[in-house]
Amino acid sequence: MENNLYIQKLNYQNIGFTSSVVFDNVIFNEGTITYNQVSGNITFNQVGKYHINWWIATGNNNINSSFIISSSTGSSTYGVSPIISQSFNGMAIVDVLSVPTSISLINMSGGDIALAQNVPVKAMLSVYMQTIGSGSYHDLYDFQINQLTHILSQIIDLYPDNVLSVFVRGLYYMIGTPTSLFSSSYGTGLFILTDSGQPQVIPLNMITGVYLGDGSTYNESLTYLEPPETLPDGWATKVITSVYDYLPVGTLASIYFSIGNSREGYIYKNELGMIVITADETGSQPTFIPATEASIILPTVATSKKVNPTLKKIEIK
């Protein structure tokens, strides 16, 4: 069973010291995870490892911001910002050994924290349960990460001297030349840029877009992974295939990703799990955006293409 949660905070609020952030907009909730919109508690009702990503846009405050993911088991994971007005993010992995186990995002800044007023979304939190496949993709998000890895490996070879802008969740982005991918014994998980000799290491799951730089042109030798013969059920499969079907090559569109970042132009490529938007039809100034990281898509004319009939759905129990 899939266990996924995606929630947002839209209403302005001062978060009291030791108070939980209460997210008021449930975008997606699937499986056994429950969310209480009064207390802000997220409850896990199935044993397993859960990955949590969150960000908060804070307003003008007189203190540094510090928030924690606090678990009913007594564990906590901090996210701290030395800047009193900005967006910052954090992540945590919660190993649920007994159920129910609850978590919440709590203000530990030493005083009240005001959220930003000039952005529509004040905070976001997503949860997914780690799953281990057996030779197939348990969710198409895994395929999307592999597609991103495949593209980055070619960018390292084809654009070794380009100064890339790599956007990540939140307001942050990193600038540098592509250096390498780092793999553990389980697979590739990190993309490394270099800026003035300083390595900049970015987890693949945090990447929302890769811009090849001013003056760059799409290299037609770039290849993409073939889709799996059968597509597993899950939220990522629904989103990725919908983006693939809805947004054909040649569409003029604006795509928003991360916070405050967008690209306007020409859909040059739309492969399963990866959109390439360029400044014009010649492929200049390409930006690669993983499909699930496109938070808003504004096409000039909404069109769609037929679903590939060879992509079959399978049940995962």
Domain span including residue 46: 4-129
Q: Is 316 domain-assigned?
A: no
150 shares its domain with 260? yes
Q: Is 309 domain-assigned?
A: no
95 shares its domain with 229? no
236 shares its domain with 103? no
Q: Per DSSP, what are the bridge partners of residue 290?
A: 274
- In 3-state terms, what secondary structure has residue 179? strand
259 shares its domain with 217? yes
166 shares its domain with 222? yes
pLDDT above 70: residue 308: no
| CA pair distance 242, 247, nearest whole angstrom | 8
What are 158-211's pLDDT values in tens digits? 999 999 999 998 767 899 999 999 988 888 899 999 999 999 999 999 999 999
pTM of the model: 0.59
8 A C-beta contact, residue 239 and residue 231: no
181 shares its domain with 61? no
125 shares its domain with 60? yes
Residue 166 CB coordination number (10 Å): 22
90 shares its domain with 112? yes
What's 40's domain CATH number?
2.60.120.40
Please count the structural domains in the chain.
Answer: 2
Q: Is 199 domain-assigned?
A: yes
116 shares its domain with 158? no
**For the chain, percent of residues with pLDDT exceeding 90:** 51
What are 229-286's pLDDT values in tens digits? 788 777 888 899 999 999 999 999 999 987 778 899 999 999 999 999 999 999 999 9
